[in-house]
Structure formats: C-alpha cells, structure tokens
C-alpha cells in the first residue's frame, strides 16, 4: 500500500539541518513546530518543505541562545496569525539587541585573544632569533 502523504523522513530532515532526530522530536514535543508534522500511515513523521524551513529558523533562534520559552512564545504568536505581527516584531527586536550585545562582547574577547597571541608570537620570534645567534 502506498502512502498518500509524501515528504521527508525525520532522518532526511536531520541530515539537511545538522540536527539530531532526538532534537527534532524534542522540538515537536515542546510545541515548537508551527503546525503538527504529518504522519504517514506507518506513523512515521513526514516533514514538508515548510516544516524544514521552520526547523531551520528554529535552529537560528537556538544558535543565538534564544531560550526555549522565548521560542515557544514566538511560535504561539505565529500560530495566532497576523494580529500578533507587532508582538513578534518586538520579541525579535529584543532578541536581536541581546545577540548584538553578545556579539560585541565576543568581538572584544577575540581582540584580547589576538593581542595576547601577537605578544606570544613576538616573544617566540625573539627567543628563536636569540637561539640562532648563540
């Protein structure tokens, strides 16, 4: 019997997103999918392209350290439709400010590390020259 529901398997989505199947199931259990993932008659998950696009967006939110609770709130608002556009915008703007602040901190930390590397490279070069002159 052929399934009438087509789409990607959970392993296909895991491969395409770099997430584990465990993480994909977790996102579903936590209510983070915009709409329920379809099931084939075999009860296996079948992800659509829209599901994949949504998972990629969730991945971006997580990679910028958005808490699951914030993601859940965003999903709840998105499910309510256009009436929540302003609230979703505000949520993302606040998160963007947090990410920008973290990026500034990381950039400053990287500069400090680069400075220290430069000092060590200079010291190593001086030591190498002194040994070759001896």
Q: What is the pLDDT of residues 36-86, one digit of tens each?
A: 999 988 889 999 999 999 999 999 999 999 999 999 999 999 999 999 999
Q: Kindly tell me if the per-residue pLDDT of 114 is higher than 70.
A: yes
- Could you give the percent of the chain with pLDDT greater than 70? 96
Q: What is the pLDDT of residue 98?
A: 97
pTM across the whole model: 0.80
Contact assessment for residue 16 and residue 52, using Cβ atoms and an 8 Å cutoff = yes
pLDDT (mean) for 88-115: 98
> What's the Rg (C-alpha) of the chain?
24
Rounded to whole angstroms, the Cα distance separating 22 from 129 reads 55
């Amino acid at each position: 019997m052929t399934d009438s529901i087509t789409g990607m398997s959970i392993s296909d989505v895991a491969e395409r997103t770099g997430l584990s199947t465990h993480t994909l199931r977790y996102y579903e259990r936590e209510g983070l999918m915009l709409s329920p993932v379809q099931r084939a008659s075999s009860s296996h998950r079948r992800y659509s392209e829209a599901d994949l696009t949504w998972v990629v967006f969730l991945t971006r939110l997580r990679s910028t350290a958005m808490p699951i609770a914030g993601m859940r709130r965003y999903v709840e608002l998105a499910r309510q439709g256009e009436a929540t556009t302003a609230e979703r915008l505000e949520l993302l703007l606040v998160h963007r400010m947090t990410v920008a602040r973290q990026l500034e901190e990381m950039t400053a930390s990287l500069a400090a590390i680069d400075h220290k590397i430069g000092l060590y490279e200079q010291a190593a070069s001086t030591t190498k020259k002194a040994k070759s002159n001896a």
